[in-house]
Chains A and B, each alone.
Chain A
Amino acid sequence: MELLTELMQYIMNNQSELLALTVEHILLVIYGVVLAFIVGVPLAILAVKIPRLAPVILSVANILQNVPSLAMLAILMLYFGLGNTAVIIGLFFYSLLPIIRNTYVGLQEVSGSLLDAGKGVGMNSFQLLTKVQIPLSLPFIVAGLRVAAVIAVGVASIAPYIGGGGLGKEIVSGIAQRSDIKILAGAIPAALLAILADYLLGFVEKYTKKRTA
């Protein structure tokens, strides 16, 4: 109880700083995930259109996903130096797999009869993609974004080890100073962010599902 009042007190006193860290955290995640979306969706389409490429694309994304996060960030730091750039690239790598895999599955799931209907009315393969396949895969694509965002919120928390910002800063300095309050003041908002991302994108996912059923 005492801890809680102390924590509230701390948060009140450092409001603007904490808010800035939260915003930075969110931006890191958004940059990483959006970048992964821009690259991942076309790669998934490529994997569907050229089945020979599918195993290559999926396994590369899979390997990236399996590198331990601290190791990944450390390696990236070697190439991109200290700072947020390396962090964003790390988040981008981590987000690739969920986005590629979900988009790939979503595109594959579009029923053969709807593809026939699309081809049957005379759509060319680009029109088939943009008017039928992608709209119908939206729930899957959003689900991929959702997983990616939750992972990225977590990974972004260790950004300060390679000179990045975000709520991790508060946690890391809390660890160094052995301050429970600081650790909690960084960790709780980070956890809330993950829950919020999950909830919001879950809501979008449900909406798109309703429209494609």
Chain B
Amino acid sequence: MIELRKVNKVYEDGTHVLKDIDLLFESGKINVLIGPSGCGKTTTMRLLNRLTEHTGGEIFIDEKNIADFNPIELRRHMGYVIQSIGLFPHMTIYDNVATVPRLLKWDKSKIDKRVNELLELVNLNPEQYKKRYPSELSGGQQQRIGVARALAAEPATILMDEPFSALDPISRDQLQNELVRLQEDIQKTIIFVTHDMDEALKIADQIILMKDGRVVQKGTPREILTNPANDFVREFIGEERLKTAEPLPSLSNFIDPTIQAIHLSESKESVIKKLMEQQCFTYPLVDETNQFLGQLSLQKIMNESSVHLEDFVDPSVQALTTDQDIEDVLEYLEKHKHHSLPVVDNENMFVGMIDMKELFRSVRSVYGKRGGN
């Protein structure tokens, strides 16, 4: 975990490029820094491996002040993909990837093994590419090598400064997918700089939007999309993306009002009759003030001798509330394989049964709108 507290950077010539930056990069997450050119993304990143020193505030890595680390050691344990790829032109691909392991004095066989492993990881055939020089690779292949070099010594943190910027859209898309897939395996703390909002939305766990040396907004892609902090953020995201990110309609739109709850005062016989008529196995039960008591189960009614309706409630069924996030509801439905569920309001008053058909129809239409990406 990396933490920046009130970090400032004033360059020697007096330009104040970072102003009171407070950030938290959690372990195992992809953190994306995004913002217009010159807003200080690269500078922020370079503070972390001390290629640039901050001039105010504090930076902590796993609670330890970064100022107490030896910068050379720090860098050997932090992968860095620089903005311009920066492969060493006089070294073979093998030597480029092996740079850090050699600095760490790994033995030869371990390095051999690691280089092969890494080249395979970035989808380049080791036998074919190991002995080539960077100039003998395409731009996309070079960027892959840049990533492989940064991963070589299994650093816990990886800094990536616009690593895919020079690529055509197809290779970029492919490398983004690879990064996300890779991250599932390797679980590093990744700090990733980009100009490209689509890229950020696609790969980020946390997006940090910067402007003129300040953090304008930070949050998950969904938070940023559904709740942009100000006009700058809205503009930066773009109307097009905001539209496609329209939240799903709220749960109260999908309630089937035709189903009336059974009152506690009704008799067992009339309930059985009602369930048979409606061909239902389960039915909501309320008291005289319309407080939801639970879901009656036909099976319990048939098997238990009690005459009190409360005794036939199936405790495993929980009601949904009207303000619940629809995505959570979908997830819940999927997990529990219910065909219908009762919905209550915040005071536990029965509202109605959820209308599954209507719900799925709506989800499909929203998905169709998003379908483009």
Q: Is A116 an interface residue (CB 8 A)?
A: yes
Question: A113-B83, A116-B51 in contact; A122/B100 too (CB < 8 A)?
Answer: yes
Report the separation of the CA atoms of residues A123 and B82 in the bound assembly, to the nearest whole angstrom: 15
Q: Which chain B residues numbered 57 to 98 have a C-beta less than 8 Å away from chain A? A: 72-77, 80, 82-84, 86-90
Contact A135 B100, CB 8 Å, known A116-B82, A119-B75: no
Q: Does A120 contact B (CB under 8 A)?
A: yes
Min Cβ gap A124→B in Å is 5
Which residues of chain A are within 8 angstroms of B133 by Cβ–Cβ distance?
211
A116-B82, A120-B51, A121-B149 known; A136-B89 Cβ under 8 A: yes
What count of chain B residues pass the 8 Å CB interface test?
23
Q: Say yes or no: B90 contacts A211, CB within 8 Å.
A: yes
Look across to chain B and name the residue whose beta carbon is closest to the beta carbon of A212.
Answer: B90
A132–B77 Cα distance when bound, in Å, is 20
Name B159's closest neighbour in chain A (CB-CB). Answer: A120
Minimal Cβ-Cβ distance residue in A for B87: A117
Residue with the highest number of chain B CB atoms closer than 10 Å, among A117, A122, A135, A138 = A122
Q: How far is the CB of B158 from chain A (nearest CB, A)?
A: 11
A132 touching B103 by the CB < 8 A rule? no
Q: Which residue of A lies closest to B100 (CB)?
A: A121
Residue of B nearest to A136 (CB): B90
Given A116-B51, A211-B133, A213-B89, A122 contacting B72 (CB threshold 8 A)? yes
Closest residue on chain B to residue A118 by CB atoms: B88
**When the two chains form their complex, are residues A114 and B135 in contact, meaning their CB atoms are under 8 A apart?**
no
Q: Is B157 an interface residue (CB 8 A)?
A: no
Instruction: Specify which chain B residues have a CB less than 8 angstroms from the CB of A211 in the assembled complex.
Output: 89-90, 133
**Residue A127 is within 8 A (CB to CB) of chain B in the complex:** yes
Report the Cα distance A131→B100, complex, angstroms: 12
- Give Cα distance in the complex from A127 to B104, angstroms: 12
- Do A121 and B89 have beta carbons less than 8 Å apart? no
Give CA–CA (A32, B77) in the complex, Å: 46
Taking CB atoms and an 8 Å cut-off, the chain A residues in 98-125 that contact chain B are 113-114, 116-124
* Contact A116-B86, Cβ < 8 Å, known A121-B100, A121-B149, A122-B103: yes
A114 with B86: CB separation less than 8 A: yes
Complex CA–CA separation, A212 to B49 (angstroms): 27
Q: A120-B75, A121-B103, A211-B133 are in contact. Are A132 and B88 (CB under 8 A)?
A: yes
The answer, among B72, B86, B90, for a CB contact under 8 Å with A117, is: B86
How many Å lie between the Cα of A124 and that of B74 in the bound state?
12
List residues of chain B with CB within 8 A of the CB of A113. 82-84, 86
- Chain A residues closer than 8 Å to B83, beta-carbon distance: 113
Partner among A121, A132, A135 whose Cβ is within 8 Å of the Cβ of B80: A121
When chains A and B are docked, how far (Å) is the Cα of A213 from the Cα of B103? 24
CA distance A118 to B82 in the complex (A): 10
Q: Which residues of B contact A114 (CB under 8 A)?
A: 86, 88-89
B43 interfacial contact with A, CB 8 Å = no
The complex places the Cα of A17 from the Cα of B323 at a distance, in Å, of 106
CB contacts (< 8 Å) of B75 on chain A: these are 119-122
Do B76 and A121 have beta carbons less than 8 Å apart?
Answer: yes
B89 touches A122 (CB 8 A): no
Of residues 128 through 154 on chain A, the ones whose CB sits less than 8 Å from some CB of chain B are: 131-132, 135-136, 138
Chain B, residues 205-223, CB within 8 Å of chain A (1/0): the string is 0000000000000000000
> Smallest Cβ distance from B120 to chain A, in angstroms?
21
Chain A residues with Cβ below 8 Å from B116 are none
Q: Which residues of A contact B88 (CB under 8 A)?
A: 114, 117-118, 131-132, 136
Contacts of A131 in B (CB 8 A): 88
Query: At the interface, yes or no: B142 with Cβ under 8 Å from chain A?
Result: no
Enumerate chain A residues within 8 angstroms of B103, measured Cβ to Cβ: 121-123, 127
Say yes or no: A120 contacts B80, CB within 8 Å: yes
Nearest B residue to A132, CB-CB:
B88
Nearest A residue (CB) for B84: A113
Q: Does residue B99 face the partner (Cβ distance < 8 Å to A)?
A: yes
User: Given the interface contacts A127-B103, A135-B90, A213-B89, does A119 sit within 8 Å of B84 by beta carbon?
Assistant: no
Chain A min CB distance to B98 (Å): 11
Cβ distance B26 to chain A, nearest Cβ, rounded Å: 23
Interface residues of B in 122-141 (CB under 8 A from A): 133, 135
The answer, among A116, A118, A119, A212, for a CB contact under 8 Å with B89, is A212
Given pairs A113-B83, A122-B75, A212-B89, 18 additional interface contacts (CB within 8 A): A113-B82, A114-B86, A114-B89, A116-B86, A117-B80, A117-B86, A119-B75, A120-B51, A120-B80, A120-B82, A121-B80, A121-B99, A123-B103, A124-B72, A127-B103, A136-B88, A136-B90, A212-B90
What are 10 A-to-B residue pairs whose CB atoms are below 8 Å? A119-B51, A119-B75, A120-B51, A120-B82, A132-B88, A135-B90, A136-B88, A136-B89, A212-B90, A213-B89
B residues whose Cβ falls under 8 Å from a Cβ of A: 49, 51, 72-77, 80, 82-84, 86-90, 99-100, 103, 133, 135, 149
